[in-house]
Structure 1
Amino acid sequence: MYILLLSIHGLIRGNELELGRDADTGGQTLYVVDLARALAERDDVDQVDLVTRRIVDPAVSGDYAEPVEPLSQKARILRIDAGPDEYIPKERLWDHLDGFMDNLVTTLNAGGRMPDLIHSHYADAGYVGVRLSNLLGVPLVHTGHSLGRDKRQRLLSAGVSEEIINQTYHMDRRVDAEEEVLAGADLVIASTNHEIDEQYGLYDYYQPGRMAVIPPGTDLSRFYPPASSVSTRGDPPSVVPDQIRRFLQDPDKPLILALSRADARKNNQTLLEAYGESDDLREIANLLIVAGNRDDIRDLDEGARSVLTELLIGIDAYNLYGRVAMPKHLPQDQVAELYRLAAERGGIFVNPALTEPFGLTLLEAAASGLPLVATENGGPVDIIGNCDNGILVDPLDKAAIAQALLKLLTDPGRYRRMRDNGVVKVREHYSWPAHAERYLGRARPLLKRHEPIPLAPKRGKRYRDRALFTDIDQSLLGDAEGIRQFVTAMHGHRKCATFGIATGRRLDTALAELKRHSIPHPDVLITSLGTEIHYAPRLARDQYWNEHIDYLWRPATVLRVLSEFPGLEPQPKREQTHFKVSYHYDPDQPPDIEELTSLLRSRDVTANLIQSFGRFLDVVPSRASKGQALRYVAQRWGIPLERILVAGGSGADEDMMRGNTLAVVVANRHGEELSQLADLERIYFAGQPYALGILEAVDHYDFFGSCELPTTGS
């Protein structure tokens, strides 16, 4: 197997991971790197590629600018360009994900082999993963890590308005991407049952039958107890004790250790208050809080700055100087030493998070010989349930947190039992080899359900250097002189440029309209909103495409579900096809498109709803659209998307225009559904209407001026 892992937004490299640097460099980055290495150790895996965004930014390490980084003999990191060079938070990546997808396909084509399995991590990678899976015809596995609906509920409960949530986190786009990936994924991997029941259960496309709990592993070659024979390997002297000792009056006391990024949800302020208000805890133990890395609190983002400022204020308010350590830096390669230091001192690892999706640090600490006190909300329930190595607490109950810590620190028998249970049972339940075995056991059967599309052919007789695709109505047609000039231009460059149509019309009506305006047959006709593809000269239908898009398509269910709504009137039968269910749509009557989409999802219908001109609604298979059909043709014919110019103007054309294609919106369509794309690169809003606007874009992009004729004998 060749497995492709997608984790787009964080800073990912093979060593010295910057965990806790910000909200985007949490446990997910460690998870995907360890997963890549573990899968690559298998004899039945040929190659694992971990794909992320390439970042060229003097504010971060130059490691993140390297296009390829080996992880092991069969695993590597591939970094793909998308959006600006600099490092940006995940919330600003949405408009660049189509470009990421297109650049990734180019990289895969250059490599000569397509993946057998795609595994996306987090919502942004899920957005890319669905499209890549649809294009290539290979199975998709997804891991959410955290979910938008759950985050939205927590933010609303905290008093944040819906408007601010969408402005700050682009939550509508995130949740829509999560719904789409849940509809399209063959398998969703969760770390705990709580994650499936309490988080995925919030979604319309909640399908427990497609979900599996496969908890991640921990690197037992790094995380082991201080008394372990493994530690006799000649580890270099640790610098960690000196880093901690300088904070503490009595550094030999047991350490209560908390390790997380500086995030209010990690709830370290409550832990500090529990410690500060307990005379007994302050007497018998020190508190060590590692909350990410920082040089100057004032340079951090607002959330991290607020968390750290509150912790420092709390230290001062409770007069905890000499009892609390809060170091500014802890490199990732020193984390294991920190756990062992706490274990040597008879300490405890505590995770007081408001909710914890899983808790990799709990596994690392337990494997290193530390008993646990952890939140009762989320993954720790499964971990402590499996390992019997700690106490679960209400993270908002300061007295309960202090009492749990004291139970372990003052009862040597209980302490030893939970310490030893953790060391043994983490190896039993949470090793990476065991994870990889269970993972592939669930993944292998998925390959039989899909038929991958063939690789792009070698450039042959029908090869063109580039292609121009346009919609018909109100884009190409509308001005007789513009049509005449357009036809002349296409005739003059026919040897190097493919001419294509992408329309919502059926094939027969599209051909009739082209004939009526004396427009010669195109090389490719994408008709019925991307559900059919025909090739000149005989208008041969691409049967493979129809087999490809038939995946999970249930038109009878679509008709039955949508028949309930008075604002939807079926279009005449001549406009309906097996792969396109079409309606006249009254936007003034409920429900709106979002509600209809949600309803279909709740009935297990996987489909695309396409609204155009404010009065038409078409429902097509999830693998079908103009943009997906266009990319399929480009892939099969070997035409780079950067050399394809597309013209359109309705919502049905949007996914043709996003990504790496060159695009034009002609002047008469500026005020319609694509106006929100005006700020995107590669989308030109022409000053001329109809075909004249397309020709204006041809000049703007110098589209024919750089056209190369096929070489002799090609």
Structure 2
Amino acid sequence: MHELVKAVFNSDEKTTLGQLICALRAAGKRYFLRTEILQAFADYCQRSQKPQHFYYSSAVGKLIHCTHEMILEEESIWLVIRPRIASQEFWHLTADLTKFDLMPPQAYLDVSDRLVNSYQPNILEIDLSAFYKDSPSVSDPRNIGQGLAFLNRYLCSQVLTDPQYCLNILFDLLHKLHYDGVPLLINDRIKSGTHLAQQISQAIRFLSEQPDDEPHKNFNFHLQQLGFEPGWGNTASRICETLQLLEKLIDNPQPAILEAFVSRIPAIFRVVLISIHGWVAQAGVLGRDETLGQVIYVLEQARSLENQLREEIKLAGLDLLGIKPHVIILTRLIPNCEGTFCNLPLEKIQGTENAWILRVPFGEYNPEVTNNWISKFEAWPYLERFALDAEKELLAQFQGKPHLIVGNYTDGNLVAFLLARRLKVTHCNIAHSLEKPKYLFSNLYWQDLEETYNFSAQFTADLITMNAADFIVTSSYQEIVGTPDTMGQYESYKSFTMPNLYHVIDGIDLFSPKFNMVPPGVNEEIFFSYSQKEDRDPDVRKRIHDLLFTNEDPQIFGHLENPHKRSLLTVAPITSIKNLTGLAECFGQSPALQEHCNLIILTSKLHPSEATNPEEAAEIQKLHDIVNKYHLHSHIRWVGMRLPSSDIGEVYRVVADCGGIYVHFAHFVAFGRSILEAMISGLPTFATQFGGALEIIEDREDGFYLNPTDFAGTAKKILDFLDQCDTHPEYWLEVSEWMSKRIHHKYNWHLHTSQLVLLAKISGFWNFVVPDNNEARLRYMETLFHLIYKPRAEKILEKHMRR
């Protein structure tokens, strides 16, 4: 990047840069984001009649396209330049453009504080880079998020190259493996790594003489005499295959062999999935609007995990010992549960044999608050006590320690960190959505937002949990490091300021192999293609059709003048991020869209009086105002009622029956559960270009991404698609089929949970073979917890006690 900056300064293009900066100063602002800088540059190029290539290909054009932030001081210009994915540089230019310097992050963070009149000398600086300096690191940004594959390669090429060392390590690992004191895999008859190798050869010879499907119980005694306990497999052929994998691994360590062998090690039996703040239940409630997707995620993940673990236990031959998987969703008990089961301490998860929802109440610092549901922005004061209480309940339910703790969202991950630290258990972090990048300038203006959002506690907890976790599961690549044009969610924690609180110099190593992309699946018993007529109930189909198109109800708004037009469907809670008002505005501004389509909006609420907070009430009212402004009453159906998942599945299929499409118009989406549901149902789907939808849809050449700030461009994309469908009716079918197949093959729960369990095993293997700088890093996280997080949480508690 130095050469590019130098090229601008040493050419006539420095004049262009100076004129652009003058234009920005004239706007009366001091702080600019990438979109504003690019727009100003485009306007400049047009006014100056620059050739088209100048905007992209000139040195100054390339520099501007890499600039993500700009701060204009009286005597200085500061640029945040992102020369490539996962890389940030901070540049200082003098106002007269006579000098330029690459600066450390600290300097830019000081300038940011001055921007909001909150500069404080000697502020606390958080720098975690030292904890990752000696750890293995992904070198190619394209491989970020593929930590499992990286660790397999690293272990085989750097650690297990010495056969004797490899043998001894594997012996030590296998020898310590047990289930509640019962030895698995090998017993004390095998004395060393060398002895293990000898016994493997004998066991393989013995097993090769047995019928392939001979049950393990018929020759268990003979294997025990050789030193092998149950866990290698359930039949002679399965056990022989596993031992042969181990033999190959010892002789010639290869990543594929290591992964195949570790996947067969029976090491995970008890799993905790932590989801704290939502209404986590099954009958009559599935989370609040703000956590609906997360609750569905953990319930489906729990079912899939129990199936996965049961299958692994069976294939390992351990079911004959009475070993069963045990999965618990840990959440909070809510005494004032509004008619739901959220006040039950224990609830079995439907469709499972041994998966449960365990509810533990928040400590009663203030029953007026803790006996009720608490927003995700308010739960922070109660989490430490909750973790201590939950530990006792979990140990009682499991009759032992869990083998894996999976945190969900920031609060769940903070509890996971506290539990994993006390129990010495593997911790998996799943953020779902990091709030910091969702709320523009939320760190810079945190003090103004603190009364509503308590971001100081949340962002500190994010730093703690993402760095403390053994591995991090994300749904997409962009969640980690974004795109060439946008920063990722985790990347936004790399360097930032919380004025008057602390500076983060280096908050996360984006190249760490702890990052792993493991996208979720879809419940295919509920969400499946509209073309599967044999799996659909005609009565349910008619009921949903009438609900969407003809029924009159106090919770349904709008009467369709022509219900036979194609439908534009969207399913989402009413929040500013989901941008339902933007979609309605786009529809209202396009007479052509109204001529071709009806707009169907499925939410949980219809009236401002039903809102749970002022922001939600404002969005509901704004949507009503837009409908009135553009006279959309005969072109829109707004269904404001909560439907069970089974009915939502049929909503997608009914709209697909009529040749409709699905539109996800959010300003940003971390991943997009409804996108998966719509696509697998066979609905051609258009979705926001900001976030995880980029990786779900695969834009192809046809253009299914939408810019939610560009109403005219959105309308044109949808109309172009509809024109093609009208001209070539088979086109809708082609798009419907490839979208449905894509979700079915790539986004399914079996793939997700098999990868999740394998990651937990590889993580445990890694920590055993190559103990990382974990203890020092965890001590640092504990320091942040006690010295920063807890005082911020106590301030929230003080507010609650005054209610």
* TM-score between both structures, scaled by the size of structure 1: 0.62
Does the alignment pair 1:306 with 2:618?
yes
Residue identity matched to 1:22: D
Distance 1:96 1:300, change over 3 A: closer
Q: Secondary structure at the match of 1:63?
A: coil
Q: Give % identity.
A: 25
Which residue of structure 2 aligns with residue 88 of structure 1?
374
**CA distance change for structure 1 residues 252 and 194 in 2, over 3 Å: closer, same or farther?**
same
**Which of 576, 590, 593 matches 1:264?**
576
Partner residue of 1:79? 359
Cross-structure match for 2:744: 427
> Unaligned stretches of 5+ in structure 1?
452-547, 555-604, 609-621, 628-650, 659-671, 683-714
Query: Is 1:359 aligned to 2:672, yes or no?
Result: yes
Aligned to 2:522: 218
Contact map agreement 2:433 2:670 (CA 8 A) in 1:
yes
The farther-off stretch of 436-445 and 349-358 is 436-445
Are 1:224 and 1:230, in contact at CA under 8 Å, matched by a contact in 2?
Answer: no
Q: CA RMSD, aligned part only?
A: 3.1
C-alpha deviations, 1:572-624, integer Å up to 9, x for none? Answer: xxxxxxxxxxxxxxxxxxxxxxxxxxxxxxxxx5533xxxxxxxxxxxxx569
For 1:234-249, list aligned pairs within 5 A.
236=540, 238-246=542-550, 247-249=559-561
Residue in 1 that maps onto 2:289: 22
1:389–1:421 CA contact under 8 A, matched in 2 = no
Match in the other structure for 1:462 = none
Q: Tell me by how many angstroms 1:173 deviates.
A: 0.9
Shift, 1:44, TM fit = 2.7
Alignment correspondent of 2:707: 394
More helix by share: 2
1:318 aligns with 2:630: yes
Match of 1:712 in 2: none
The answer to whether 1:437 aligns with 2:754 is: yes
CA distance in 2, matches of 1:445, 1:435: 15
Q: 1:434 to 1:180 in 2, by over 3 A?
A: same
Contact 1:263 1:307 in 2 (8 A): yes
Aligned position for 2:718: 405
Residue 492 of structure 2 corresponds to residue 202 of structure 1: yes
For the residues of structure 2 that align with 1:678 and 1:405, how far apart are their CA atoms?
Answer: 49
| Counterpart-to-counterpart distance in 2, 1:99 and 1:109 | 16
Contact 2:273 2:298 in 1 (8 A): yes
For residue 5 of structure 1, give the secondary structure of its aligned residue in structure 2: strand
CA shift for structure 1 position 285: 1.0
The CA distance in 2 between the partners of 1:12 and 1:286, in whole Å, is 34
The answer to whether the 8 A contact 1:68-1:78 is kept is yes
Selected match of 2:297 from 31, 35, 41: 31
Counterpart CA distance in 2 for 1:284 and 1:424 is: 27
Q: Find out whether 1:552 has 2:774 as its counterpart.
A: yes
Match in the other structure for 2:392 = 106
Equivalent residue number for residue 379 of structure 1: 692
SS for the counterpart of 1:411 is: helix
Distance 1:680-1:276 versus aligned 2 partners, 3 A rule: closer
- Partner of 2:432 in structure 1? 145
Change (3 A) 1:327 1:162: same
Matched, 1:346 2:659: yes
Indicate if the aligned counterparts of 1:218 and 1:363 stay in contact, CA closer than 8 A.
yes
Deviation at 1:407, TM superposition (A): 2.1
8 Å CA contact 1:5, 1:121 repeated in 2? yes
* Equivalent position of 2:469 in the other structure: 185
The alpha-carbon distance between structure 1 residues 233 and 291, as it changes in their structure 2 partners (threshold 3 A), is closer
CA distance 1:193–1:237, shift in 2 (3 Å)? closer
Aligned partners of 2:521 and 2:748 also within 8 Å: yes
Deviations 1:339-388 (A, max 9, x none): 01110111110001111100010110011110011110111100011898
- TM-superposed CA distance for 1:293, in Å, is 3.1
Cα pair 1:133 1:140 within 8 Å, conserved: yes
Aligned counterpart, 1:54: 333
Do the aligned partners of residues 678 and 85 (structure 1) sit closer, same or farther apart at CA in structure 2, a change above 3 Å counting? closer
Q: Which residue of 1 aligns with 2:585?
A: 273
Q: Pick from 235, 256, 275 the counterpart of residue 7 of structure 1.
A: 275
Cα deviation, 1:221-241, whole Å, max 9, x if unaligned, reads: 111222214525677454222
Tell me which of 672, 683, 702 is aligned to 1:370. 683
Query: Aligned partners of 2:431 and 2:600: how far apart in 1?
Result: 30
* Residue 154 of structure 1, CA deviation: 5.0
Between the aligned partners of 1:344 and 1:678, the Cα distance in structure 2 is: 52
1:503-582, aligned counterparts within 5 Å? Answer: 552-553=774-775
User: What is the one-letter code of the residue matched to 1:201?
Assistant: E
Q: Distance in 1 between matches of 2:716 and 2:795?
A: 55
2:347 maps to: 69
AA partner of residue 14 (structure 1): Q
**Which range moves more in the overlay, 416-425 or 7-16?**
7-16
Q: Deviations over 1:628-657 (max 9, x none)?
A: xxxxxxxxxxxxxxxxxxxxxxx78x99xx
Question: What is the distance in 2 between the residues matched to 1:404 and 1:358?
Answer: 22
**Separation (CA, whole Å) in 1 of partners of 2:625 and 2:278:** 30
Query: How many residues were matched structurally?
Result: 477
Residue 284 of structure 2 contacts residue 340 of structure 2 at CA under 8 Å; is this kept in 1? no
Pair 1:174-2:458 in alignment: yes
Aligned counterparts of 1:435 and 1:291: Cα–Cα separation in 2 = 28
Distance change in 2, residues 1:309/1:408 (3 Å): same
Structure 1 residues 419 and 389, CA gap change in structure 2 (3 angstroms) = farther
The one-letter code sitting in structure 2 at the alignment partner of 1:27 is G
Change (3 A) 1:47 1:371: same
Q: What amino acid maps onto 1:186 in structure 2?
A: D
Report the Cα distance in structure 1 between the residues aligned to 2:583 and 2:792, rounded to whole angstroms. 50
Distance 1:342 1:217 in 2: 22
